[in-house]
Every structure is written in C-alpha cells, then in structure tokens.
Amino acid sequence: MAALFSIIVTAYNSGSTIQATLESIAKQTNDNYELVIVNDGSTDNTLDICNTFKKDHPNTRILTKENGGVATSRRKGVEIANGDYVLFVDSDDTINPDLIQELVNTTTKYHDIDIIRYQTNLIDDEEYKNHERYNFVDEPETIRSGLDTLKLWTGSTIKYALYWLFAFKRDLFSVIPLPDIRCYEDVAYIPLLITSAKEIVTISYRAYNYTCNRSDSLTNSSDDENHRLRAKDFYDACKFATESFAKLPGVTKEDVDFFNKDYDRRLKGFYQGIPDNLKSEFTSMYGIE
C-alpha cells in the first residue's frame, strides 16, 4: 500500500492568500493525502474560507486553537496527523500538481526513506538574489545517511533549514519533541530531524512555490524592540539545537564539534546583520562579537 501523506497548513489571518494555497493542494494528481489545517486563532475570514473548502474536500480536517504562533501550530498539526509522512505548506504559498505523485513514486522506490527533499520556485524574489538558493540537486536520488547529508548541506551555500523543502517521516518527530520557542524553530529543529534520519534522498521535482518579500513577517520587522526579541529567539534556537544535537544517538565528539562550529558561525552571521546601535547590547547579552 502506498504511503499516506499529511499536508499541514498553518494559518493566521491568511484570508487574502489561503484560497490559492488550498486550491493548489486540491489539484494534486494523486489523492493519497490528508489535509490538516491548523487555524491559529485567526480574526479575519480565514476559518470561513477553510470551512467552505472542506465541504467539497472530505480529506480535510481543521483544528482551531488560540493564537500561539506558527511553531505551536506545526506541533499541533504533527500531533493529529495520520500520515506516514508529513509536509508543511505555508498559507501564502502553493504546491505544484504532481508533488504527492512524486512522493508516492519515491517512497515506493525507496521503502525505508525517512526524508525526501524537493525543489522550489521563488515568487516575487528580488532580482539581485540567487533564485536557486533553496535548491540542492547533487546527484539526485542518491541515498545518504542523515549525518552525511547534514555535513554535505552545511558545506554548501544552499539553504536547507526550512520546513517547506521536505516530506518527513512522521516518526522522526518522536525522537526529539518540537521546541517551544517563538521564532527560528526551523533553525533549531530541522538539523536535528535530518541527523535523526537513517536515509535521505533529494528529488529534482520543483514542487513548492515560495512567496518572497513578506514585509509584514516577524523576522522582517525593523524596530529595535523586535530586533532584541529576534536576537534572543535566535540565540535560544541555536542553544536548543546544539544541546539537543549532543544527545542524539550515534553522534561522536567530532560530530558535536562540527555542529557547534556551524552554529557559532550562524550566531556570528546573525550578529553582523543586526543594527549597529544594538551590537554592543547583543555582545554583552550573549558574548558574540
């Protein structure tokens, strides 16, 4: 029997975009999936749109919770998912029609695969940026261990710590619980999921359409107080990642040293990106220069 996929959509006040997201999911050429929508206490018409959509799509479930942020919404989505694998779609993005079919093909070919990485298109990306910065196709359909994959991707300039790039075997989420942090959960958690995987494969299918330039997002906010909050969030995410990585079964001292070095690099890179007037504050709080 083919694997079942749980598509988790987290939504907060997404009334202007979520219809297109849901329609892209409904256009899948393979229906071996369930749709789990987690409504994070929206105050606009998001829930109405989802309820209307559900009437014609019985494989859809909706959970409404008090507003708590995307991390708590993802956690709830994973908790109630029934699929063998879970994948995440943001409520202002879309997926392409053959994604589930490509995932079914891959899991049929590689029965024990834990994580499948696919490719993305960037919508409204800034012209000067590398439009392939989330796409990694090194020897597609080569099976690697989680730790080998992490080292390969860490050594590349291509970004990987993003939920919407992967289909994860749901059992991976039981190894280390999702962190209870406000922001940068992907930085804190995805490398741990990757390391926990026995087998990972990358496919060349361009599955995901990511909308860039979200000026209203938390991480794009520009006032000093939000920069302070972001600094704390990023530090907490890095601390969670390094402390949890050291506890994973099978990692060696050399692996821990490699991982700590990478996260030290991340912290220093983050420091370089904060406003100059806050750098001394960041240094005194976290000892990063």
pLDDT in the model for residue 279: 79
What lies within 8 Å, CB to CB, of 95 at 6+ separation is 7, 24, 25, 28, 89, 207, 208, 209
pLDDT in the model for residue 222: 54
pLDDT in tens, 4-47: 999 999 999 999 999 999 999 999 999 999 999 999 999 999 99
The residue from 188, 211, 234 where one domain ends is 211
Mean pLDDT of 194-201: 97
The residue from 171, 192, 211 where one domain ends is 211
In terms of C-beta density within 10 A (0-12 exposed, 13-18 middle, 19 or more buried), how is residue 5 classed? Answer: buried
Does residue 216 lie within any of the structural domains?
A: no
| 215 pLDDT more than 70 | no
Please check whether residues 48 and 157 belong to one and the same domain. Answer: yes
Please check whether residues 203 and 228 belong to one and the same domain. Answer: no
The fraction of the chain above a pLDDT of 70, given in percent, is 95
Show the beta-strand stretches assigned E in 124-276: 166-169, 200-211
Does residue 253 lie within any of the structural domains?
A: yes
pLDDT in tens, 76-123: 999 999 999 999 999 999 999 999 999 999 999 999 999 999 999 999
Please check whether residues 51 and 166 belong to one and the same domain. Answer: yes
Mean pLDDT of 132-149: 89
Q: Name the residue range of residue 163's domain.
A: 5-211
Please check whether residues 205 and 242 belong to one and the same domain. Answer: no
Please check whether residues 229 and 206 belong to one and the same domain. Answer: no
The residue from 151, 177, 211 where one domain ends is 211
Please check whether residues 116 and 235 belong to one and the same domain. Answer: no
182 and 233 Cβ atoms separated by less than 8 Å: yes
pLDDT in the model for residue 221: 47
pLDDT in tens, 242-266: 999 999 999 999 999 999 999 999 9
Give me the CATH number covering residue 187.
Answer: 3.90.550.10
Number of domains in the chain: 2
Please check whether residues 124 and 234 belong to one and the same domain. Answer: no
Please check whether residues 203 and 236 belong to one and the same domain. Answer: no
Please check whether residues 231 and 104 belong to one and the same domain. Answer: no
Instruction: pLDDT band for 289, please (50, 70, 90 cuts).
Output: low
**Residue 201 DSSP code:** E
pLDDT in tens, 269-286: 888 888 888 878 777 777
Please check whether residues 232 and 106 belong to one and the same domain. Answer: no
